[in-house]
Structure 1
Amino acid sequence: MTCSLCPRAVDGYLCSRHRDKLSAQLRGLPELYAEVGECLVPRRSGWGEIVATRGAAGPRSPIDEDILDTVNWAVASEVIHSWRTDIRRLRWPHRGSTPPARLDADCRWLVQELDWIVAQYPPAGELAREVRTLDQQARSVVGDPAPRPQALGSCVAQLSSGIICGAAISRLPGQTRITCPRCGYPYENEQDWLALLRFQPGAAA
């Protein structure tokens, strides 16, 4: 089986790289959409003071209503909650109804269930795509493009053949756990990071 988002061979539905990316995006969505609200709503106003003006006489709202209709906390909350409801229905069919929608709580719940989602949930790739879309839409509003991966060097893991893997290793800012895209070796603790730094070609002895 291959990852739903790339050609990497996996046991479930997402490779470790896309799992980690989904986890990071879910963790960041509540704060990101809170910032969206501050960008779209004038500081002197509250949400209750927004009046739709399309097709009506009088001055237009000082915000872009087309963006407001599609990129806001309520839309993000509805999308994420629908995923939580579906996953909960399959994973915990005998439990009661899903708690009311709350973007922060629903994102935390999905992060906690990621291991099961990656291993057992066929639409995991579609979930990752929708979360990525929500993330990109919000960043297009707040003027904060997604961070670029930071190059760390070459994988220093030894393969069964005895040679060093040597695949390019990179991570997103703040990411503390990565997996080599070629050999699958995990870098997740201080010893791993020190070995990666020490055994780079040309590194001082």
Structure 2
Amino acid sequence: MTVCELCGEETAGRYLCQRHTVELAKRLDELPTLYAEVSECLVPRRTGFGDIVATKSAAGPRSPLDEDVLDRVNMARAAEVLQLWRVDVQRERWPQHTPPPPSSLSANCRWLAMELDWIVAHYPAAGDLAREVGELEAQARTIVGDPVPRRQRLGTCIAITAEGVVCGAVISRLPGQTRLKCRWCGYSYESEQDWLTLLHFQPREVA
């Protein structure tokens, strides 16, 4: 007999009960969006993500941002944490494989979600994984609040690809996000003119 490592409920040989398995799957699905919103909250709207410069040792006024939060709660750190779990799960399941290269938070969450059935059934540290994913979510929520921000659908990408055709992938953004890149073709939408052009060339609905 095995019990859930989080609540002690009998699980018929699995390390997590059905409720906590579903919760872990949901958190893995939502973490990338949640941490994208964290980035939006911590980066001043008038700058790009690459414009933040650490000011701990610089002369002059101290940054109005909590730099300790920037160090502790950010997408890069979350990606590193999930990368370590991904490496360990792969080592347990496929010890003959070389460790995976560093990946994004989205890629690591997606990989772990795809292996979740095996993790819950065979991975003794499944409870620790679930706890740490929950802690990552809780840290992010202290900044962005509840509920998890939902992406707003803006239309379809109007960029011309290398093949000479319109991309057409769905373009969406988090509330307040002013810069984004098409996930399919990589075209960037940043300026007001970009947004106006995107809106202008959207297909018209047939009445």
Give the one of 119, 123, 132 matched to 2:125.
123
Is 1:15 aligned with 2:42?
A: no
Q: Secondary structure of the residue that 1:7 maps to in structure 2?
A: coil
| 1:145 positional shift | 5.3
Give the one of 49, 66, 79 matched to 2:51.
49
| 1:7 positional shift | 1.8
Indicate the residue corresponding to 2:84 in structure 1: 82
Separation in 2, partners of 1:33, 1:12: 30
Kept in 2, the 8 Å contact 1:42–1:62? The answer is no
Structure 2 unaligned blocks of 5 or more: 149-207
Question: Quick one: which amino acid aligns to residue 7 of structure 1?
Answer: G
Separation in 2, partners of 1:116, 1:140: 31
Q: Give matches, 1:6-155, under 5 Å.
A: 6-10=7-11, 11-144=13-146
Separation in 2, partners of 1:95, 1:123: 20
Separation in 2, partners of 1:134, 1:142: 13
Normalising by structure 2, report the TM-score: 0.67
Indicate the residue corresponding to 1:3 in structure 2: 4
| 1:60 positional shift | 1.9
Q: Secondary structure of the residue that 1:22 maps to in structure 2?
A: helix
Kept in 2, the 8 Å contact 1:33–1:73? The answer is yes
| 1:53 positional shift | 2.2
Separation in 1, partners of 2:133, 2:39: 18
Separation in 1, partners of 2:74, 2:48: 14
Structure 1 unaligned blocks of 5 or more: 147-205
| 1:101 positional shift | 1.8
Percent identity, please.
60
| 1:90 positional shift | 1.2
Kept in 2, the 8 Å contact 1:50–1:61? The answer is no
**Moved runs in structure 1, 4+ residues, more than 4 A?**
none
Q: Give matches, 1:148-187, under 5 Å.
A: none
1:144-185 Cα shifts (integer Å, max 9, x gaps): 257xxxxxxxxxxxxxxxxxxxxxxxxxxxxxxxxxxxxxxx
Separation in 1, partners of 2:36, 2:120: 28
Separation in 2, partners of 1:28, 1:143: 14
Separation in 2, partners of 1:72, 1:4: 28
| 1:62 positional shift | 3.0
Kept in 1, the 8 Å contact 2:90–2:99? The answer is no
1:88-139 Cα shifts (integer Å, max 9, x gaps): 1111122233032211011011011011100100010000000000001111
Kept in 2, the 8 Å contact 1:13–1:119? The answer is yes
Kept in 1, the 8 Å contact 2:3–2:9? The answer is yes
Q: Tell me the C-alpha RMSD between the 2 structures.
A: 1.4
Count of residue pairs brought into register by the alignment = 146
Indicate the residue corresponding to 1:194 in structure 2: none
